[in-house]
Amino acid sequence: MARPFLSDSEHKLRGTEAHSSTVAGESRLAPALRLKWGQLPKECRATFKRIVRLLADRKHLTDGDREIISMYAVSENRYWKFRDQLDREGWTVHVPDDDDKDHPICKHFYAAERVMIQCLDRLGLNPLARDKAKPTKSNKDDKPADPMEQILSRSGPVVVPFHAPDSEAEEIPEGKEEEQ
C-alpha cells in the first residue's frame, strides 16, 4: 500500500521536499531513462530467450543473469552483422605498395567474439565452466521440510531416541505382574 501524501507543513517539519509529481507510483525519471526488460532490440530477443531457455533447462538460471544474457544477445547480433559485412566486402584490404591488411571491421568482429566467449563462460555454458555452475533452488526447496518426511526419506539405520522412564511413575509390585 502506498504512503499518503504529506502536507506542506509536514514536509517543513521533517525537512523534506514534496515530489514534483502528484500521481502515486509515477516515476520521476524521464521515460527514455527508465530501464525495462523490453529494452533489447527486436533482433536480439530471440537470442535472449534461447539462452534463458538453455539456463532454465539446466536449472542454472538466476535473476542476476539478465544483464549478462542481454550483453551476450547484443554481442551475438553484432557478431553476425560484422561477419556478413566482412563476407561481402572481404576480410582483407589491398593496400598499394604494402601487404594486404585486415579489414577495419575485423577488430570489432573479434571484440564481439571475445565478449560472447566471456559471457558464455560466466553463465557456465562452455565445457570448462559447466562443472562450476551449481543448480539453483527450486520452489519446492523454499518451504521447510516436514520432519516426519525427512525421517521416512532418509537412508541408513533408523535411530530411535531413548527416553528414561519417569521416576514418579508407580511401580507395579512383583506379585501383581504375574497376575496380569
Per-residue cell: 45: 530477443
* CB contact at 8 A, 57 and 91: no
pLDDT tens, residue by residue, 100-150: 888 899 999 999 999 999 999 988 888 776 666 666 655 555 566 677 776
pLDDT of residue 148: 72
> Residues 5-56: pLDDT tens digits?
778 877 676 777 776 654 444 434 344 333 345 678 889 888 988 988 888 8
Query: Which residues are paired to 93 by β-bridges?
Result: 101
∠ CA 81-82-88, nearest 5°, is 95
| Residue 101 φ/ψ, nearest 5 degrees | -120, 160
Q: With the C-alpha atoms ordered 52, 53, 57, 58, is the resulting torsion angle positive or negative?
A: negative
**101, β-bridge pairs:** 93
CB-based contacts of 151: which residues, under 8 Å, 6+ apart? 158
pTM summary value: 0.55
Which cell numbers in the block locate residue 5?
501524501
68-81: per-residue pLDDT in tens? 999 999 999 999 99
Percent of the chain's residues with pLDDT above 70: 60
